[in-house]
Copies of this chain bind each other. A is one copy, B any other.
Amino acid sequence: MITILNDDFSQLNSFLHEKSFSRIFILVDENTHEYCLPVLLGNMETDLGFEILEIEAGEEMKNIQTANQLWEILTEMQADRKALVINLGGGVITDMGGFIASTYKRGIQFINIPTTLLSMCDASIGGKTGIDLMHYKNMVGTFAFPEQIFIYPKFLETLPFKELRSGFAEMLKHGLIADKAHWESLIQIHKLDVEAVVPHIQTSMDIKQDVVEKDFHERNIRKTLNFGHTIGHSVESLCLSQGNPILHGEAVAMGMICEAHLAFLENLISEEEAASVIENIQRYYPYLDISDFTDESITALLMNDKKNTDSKINFSLLTGIGSCTYDHQCSQENILKSLYFYRKLNNA
């Protein structure tokens, strides 16, 4: 289901040849339109007609208005149930494209060609689609699998460094929650660049894929993938609502630091383990300034996290390096202490 593409995209061409699609709709943003679409079109061999659907780049576009426009375009172009949507882009494109495809005429087929490290290792895998609502991330969406995921690592060379670093946060997370050896190989990387990261992508994808296969509907072990995301999502949402969006991985790196400390406060890991996790994350990520946000504004958003039930905030917390628990309910006091801990790091 996940295929690393040859330079001639032969596996994609075989896929298009074997299936009987009626037409192709390629969803891009202005960046992937410029940098990735020419590579795709230059290698794609098919007799099918295709259309390009372009949206503006950015998380701010992942909303119901954009979804509505895309549904209307598909309708106007008379896309039928055998049409194929190709999502060519980062997490916004794969989340949004998966959502509109899985709901247009109650579901047409789609494939993901993730172009960022984040979407390769995380967003494009796992059958979650979604859009944001009122600054809450992925509040509306479906569980729907792409027919295939095609990875072309050279697309990473088209990206700014910050995007690479953002995706690297999810790779670190995969090591931390499930595979100590993966974590330890990753932290051997001193200069973060495409060359250093590419050899580790497959392992990181496999961890994600493995967890998802064990628990597609996120009833148990899949929740461990939310490590760093409870507080991380809150801060990401607050930044987005202020018109200053940050990259997902930047928020997750910050969230993992808070939640590693929280795991220590909840007696799940030792102080030394927490410190080692935190120091290594800090090696790659600059301090994220959260001084504009009160504790109340952060914890208010935690209350509406999708993972919660019965008005309790559920955390996924490390129980060691390479293992993670879920549905762990923390005291309000410890949640606030973990934020206080993060705020103090600014002066350290």
Contacts and interface: CB of A to CB of B under 8 A. Distances in A.
A342 B261 CA distance: 74
Given A75-B136, A306-B81, A107 B311 contact: no
Interface in A1-40: 22
B141 A72 contact: no
B139 A105 contact: yes
B309 A82 contact: yes
A156 B306 CA distance: 38
A103 B103 contact: yes
A62 to B, nearest CB: 14
A242 interface: no
Nearest to A68: B64
A283 interface: no
A181 interface: no
A14 B100 CA distance: 37
Contacts of A213: none
A196 interface: no
A158 B80 CA distance: 39
Contacts of A102: 142
A304 interface: yes
Contact of A142 (B64, B106, B304): B106
Interface stretch (A117-125, A126-134, A227-235, A247-255): A126-134
Contacts of A307: 81
B311 A141 contact: no
Contacts of A68: 64, 133
A80 to B, nearest CB: 5
A307 B64 CA distance: 26
Which of A22, A75, A76 lies at the interface centre, i.e. has the most chain B CB atoms within 10 A of its CB?
Answer: A75
| Number of chain copies forming the complex | 2
Contacts of A82: 309-310
Given A104-B139, A130-B106, A81 B304 contact: no
B107 A139 contact: no
A250 to B, nearest CB: 24
A143 interface: yes
B139 A71 contact: yes
B133 A75 contact: yes
B142 A103 contact: yes
A140 interface: yes
Which of A103, A130, A310 lies at the interface centre, i.e. has the most chain B CB atoms within 10 A of its CB?
Answer: A103
Contacts of A148: none
Contact of A80 (B22, B103, B106, B308): B308
Nearest to A141: B106
Given A80-B310, A140-B103, A308-B80, A75 B134 contact: yes
A78 interface: yes
A303 interface: yes
Interface in A54-97: 64, 68, 71-72, 75-76, 78, 80-82
22 contacts: A22-B311, A68-B133, A71-B139, A72-B133, A72-B134, A75-B136, A76-B134, A78-B303, A78-B304, A80-B309, A80-B310, A81-B306, A102-B142, A103-B103, A103-B140, A103-B142, A104-B139, A104-B140, A106-B138, A106-B142, A106-B306, A107-B142
List 4 tightest A-B contacts by C-beta distance, closest first: A105-B306, A106-B141, A82-B309, A103-B140
